[in-house]
Structure 1
Amino acid sequence: MTPPPSPRRLSAAHRQDQILEMAARLFTEQGFEGVSVADIARALGTSRPTVYSYFPSTEAILDELFTRQLRDLPQRLFEHVRPGEVTDFSALFAALLQEKELVLLLHSGGGPQFRSRRRDFLGALEARLADHGLSLAQPKASHAQRYVLSTVLNLLTVMAYEEWHGTEGTETGRGERPELLGRFISAGLREVLPGAGS
């Protein structure tokens, strides 16, 4: 009789992905500050040394999660940010609203370490979008671009978080929000920067 095959060992890349997926789930369910490496190991049915062999801390796991988001997310948004054209903020907001995992991750912590990493991530995302061509129809509006995009991303993450947790008001439907926010930003830009946001 042939002995049963031994269980297949996970590759290093697969194991790392598994750790990251579980950590992201625990961070969004329990809050970043409430999750330890031991919690992640227990949820995976493995040991702390196994998790530590890939990541030295939960902060390192969070950094990798944000790094992966920053690598993949801008490409999904670039079709709404075209060099030389005025940005369609409504379309950009609608696209960002689809990024549920990122939005929940951005709202999964409140401590100083988490806030610092969240700020770094949003700053890097702003820079990538601005460099790609986020346009306010003014050649010298780069400072305003960064300020507007920073404000927009923070507003949007709050709005998306509320929608996914069912805390948003019922007076405005989900489909209307990106357009309303887009009009709001465009109107503000016209007020602050003549010729912008039109």
Structure 2
Amino acid sequence: MSSARERILEAAKAAFSERGFDGVSMEEIAQRAGVRKPLIYYYFPSKEVLFEEVWNRALEELENHIFKEVENENYYVRKIKRFLRAYIDFVTSRKVLSKVIEKERASVLDESGQGDVWKRLKRRYDDFLNRVAQLIEEGKKNELVNPEIDSQTAAKLITEALAASTTSGSVLKSIESFILSGLMGRTEP
């Protein structure tokens, strides 16, 4: 891969994390990357395609970080705790990537009148949410997660709560405890 291409991607990632997709121009990305604007278009035919590459890389890195942590864990309670801690670690240690996801999640999930690239972005995010939902389903099958919990809704709540949590460690620890008790607590009839 070209080092110019990687510089463009790094510059785009930083710019999108600071001001979001709509707040960034290709000219700004070119200046940050130290390249001429036509070179960006050589690698990426549009800002949407450039953002798609940044988005996909951010989600891939998030997935690698959190799911690698739990892949060899067989005991579900430890698995879900490791998942939550890995997610919190990602949010706190990889702030630029977390901000890219957080700033544009609502736009990606909004399906009103957006083109093919945005539909692919949404499908990619939905794939990520499905992996989180599968983890919750695993707990339901093991009778450790409340069977009344909708896995897709829980996955959305967990990811939004953790991704938006750029606060202190004690607040994140409280959010982790809240999520665990919500998943594993039983509701009385």
Same fold (TM over 0.5): yes
Q: For residues 88-128 of structure 1, give each alpha carbon's deviation from its aligned partner in whole angstroms, at most 9, with x where no partner exists.
A: 16524433333312221124458846856575444222223
Question: 2:127 — aligned with what?
Answer: 124
- The residue identity in structure 1 corresponding to 2:76 is E
Distance 1:191 1:25 in 2: 40
Report whether the alignment pairs 1:153 with 2:148.
no
Distance 1:65 1:142 in 2: 36
- The residue identity in structure 2 corresponding to 1:85 is Y
Distance 2:171 2:87 in 1: 9
Residue 169 of structure 2 is aligned with which of 149, 171, 175? Answer: 175
Instruction: Give the total of aligned pairs.
Output: 170
Residues 94 and 178, structure 1, Cα contact 8 Å, conserved in 2:
yes
Identity %: 23
Distance 2:109 2:137 in 1: 30
Distance 1:193 1:31 in 2: 40
Residues 13 and 100, structure 2, Cα contact 8 Å, conserved in 1:
yes
Report the 3-state secondary structure (helix = DSSP H, G, I; strand = E; otherwise coil) of the residue aligned with 2:90. helix
Distance 2:37 2:136 in 1: 44
Structure number, greater radius of gyration = 1
Residue 76 of structure 2 is aligned with which of 85, 90, 112? Answer: 85
Task: Tell me which moved more, 75-84 or 40-49.
Answer: 75-84
Residues 4 and 35, structure 2, Cα contact 8 Å, conserved in 1:
no
Residues 16 and 100, structure 2, Cα contact 8 Å, conserved in 1:
yes
Distance 2:110 2:90 in 1: 20
Report whether the alignment pairs 1:36 with 2:36.
no
Residue 60 of structure 1 is aligned with which of 23, 26, 49? Answer: 49
Q: For residues 17-48 of structure 1, give each alpha carbon's deviation from its aligned partner in whole angstroms, at most 9, with x where no partner exists.
A: 11010111122233321212122223333222
Superposed, 1:130-141 pairs within 5 Å as: 130-131=133-134, 133-134=135-136, 137-139=139-141
Residues 65 and 86, structure 2, Cα contact 8 Å, conserved in 1:
no
Distance 1:54 1:136 in 2: 41
Flag structure 1 segments of 5+ consecutive residues without an equivalent. Answer: 1-11, 164-173
Give the superposition deviation at 1:137. 2.7
Distance 1:71 1:110 in 2: 15
Task: Tell me which moved more, 119-128 or 30-39.
Answer: 119-128
- The residue identity in structure 2 corresponding to 1:94 is I
Distance 1:111 1:39 in 2: 23
- The residue identity in structure 1 corresponding to 2:128 is L
Flag structure 2 segments of 5+ consecutive residues without an equivalent. Answer: 112-117
Residue 100 of structure 2 is aligned with which of 102, 105, 113? Answer: 105
Distance 2:106 2:38 in 1: 26
Distance 1:61 1:142 in 2: 41
Report the 3-state secondary structure (helix = DSSP H, G, I; strand = E; otherwise coil) of the residue aligned with 2:164. helix
Residues 88 and 162, structure 2, Cα contact 8 Å, conserved in 1:
no
Distance 2:148 2:89 in 1: 23
Distance 1:72 1:105 in 2: 12
- The residue identity in structure 1 corresponding to 2:130 is A
